Amino acid sequence: MYKVFVNDKPLFLTNEIKKETDFKFFLLESADIKQLIINFFQNKIQKAYLYHPDEKEIMKTLKAKIPVSKAGGGLVYNKNGEVLFIFRNGKWDLPKGGTEKGEEIEDTAIREVEEETGVNKLTITDKLQKTYHVFKRNGVYKLKVTHWFEMHTKFEGTPKGQIEEGIEKVAWLNPEQVTEALKNSYENIKLLFQEEKVQARVQRTDAGK
């Protein structure tokens, strides 16, 4: 099952029939996907399931209906096991950004972390999950597919937020601070920290304090 966040609310792409309770249920064959997206943004829908026997077919259809924006981002740890966060638009987030023409997605992720935070000496140590969210820019809805990577850095300087990207603050957060920051973050960022290997790493860091 895919989980796509639309206006930070969940749209599940599923191959299982669900009985409606606190959500809307739609069949791919009959759903007006663009109207469904609009309804999310107008707060008429808080949670929905989009059904087809083949989940990949739902994602393929969604990508055909809405332009796709490919991005790369980093969940970055320093030598103390702290995680690199940025603060932008009133929420805590992780550094990420769109890929450039001909650029490998790993290179995108490293470049965006460096540009948005000033942190360098980065090494990718693991590939994490992809996250999906729909955003609206200049009146156009787009599906952002972000490829996330675990990174480590030997950087010891002071991080500096990229002002032109609206980044107000960059901070290294310990496990307790991460938990607090996630209360004021985006659902797709919270999803990353629900991954078992990320949870295990954060818990190990917390135990070593």
* Model confidence pLDDT, tens digit, residues 2-60: 999 999 999 999 999 988 888 999 999 999 999 999 999 999 999 999 999 999 999 99
Give me the number of domains the chain comprises: 2
Instruction: Characterize the bridge pairing of strands 96-98 and 68-77.
Output: antiparallel
CATH code, 120: 3.90.79.10
Residue 156 contacts residue 186 (beta carbons within 8 Å): no
When the pLDDT of each residue in the chain is averaged and rounded to a whole number, the result is 94
Query: Across residues 62-89, what is the average pLDDT?
Result: 96
**Containing structural domain, residue 18:** 2-65
154 & 203 share domain: yes
